[in-house]
Amino acid sequence: MPDDGFTLVTYPLLVDEGSLSEGAEELKAALSRQPFVEINSEDAASLKIADGDTVQVRTGAGVASLPAVVTDGIARGVVFVPFNQSGFAANTLLSGNFITAATLEGGA
């Protein structure tokens, strides 16, 4: 984990029910998931965060408690929250930006 925390990123996923989304069931399923924070497996291990643990994501704009999704599909030092997940206002963490500095707390 970087000494100065993480870089929190987000972006909106725009999916409609048109012909271009045919066969995109995995993407549509991801949009219907509960909000989460995605973290690299090595970063998670160093913080003792397991997949599914509740993690506090803290930025200069706010704090949110989200379940962790631990994966090798994201770079070390970076965490991702979905911008347009139902029931979660990512802007409470990002204050109008798509990238900001963040710290994580959680795990054992």
Q: pLDDT tens digit string along 23-46? A: 667 666 666 678 899 999 999 999
Domain assignment present for 1: no
CATH number at residue 53: 2.40.40.20
Domain assignment present for 73: yes
Domain assignment present for 70: yes
Q: Provide the domain count of the chain.
A: 1
pLDDT, tens digit, 9 for 90 and up, residues 9-21: 987 665 556 666 6
Instruction: Quote the radius of gyration of the chain (alpha carbons, Å).
Output: 14
For position 87, what pLDDT does the model report?
73
pLDDT, tens digit, 9 for 90 and up, residues 58-101: 999 999 999 999 999 999 999 999 876 777 777 788 888 888 99
Domain that holds residue 91: 6-106
Task: Report how far residue 33's alpha carbon sits from residue 24's, in angstroms, rounded to the nearest whole number.
Answer: 15
Whether residue 102 contacts residue 93, with contact meaning beta carbons closer than 8 Å, is answered with: yes
Domain assignment present for 25: yes
For position 34, what pLDDT does the model report?
82
Domain assignment present for 83: yes
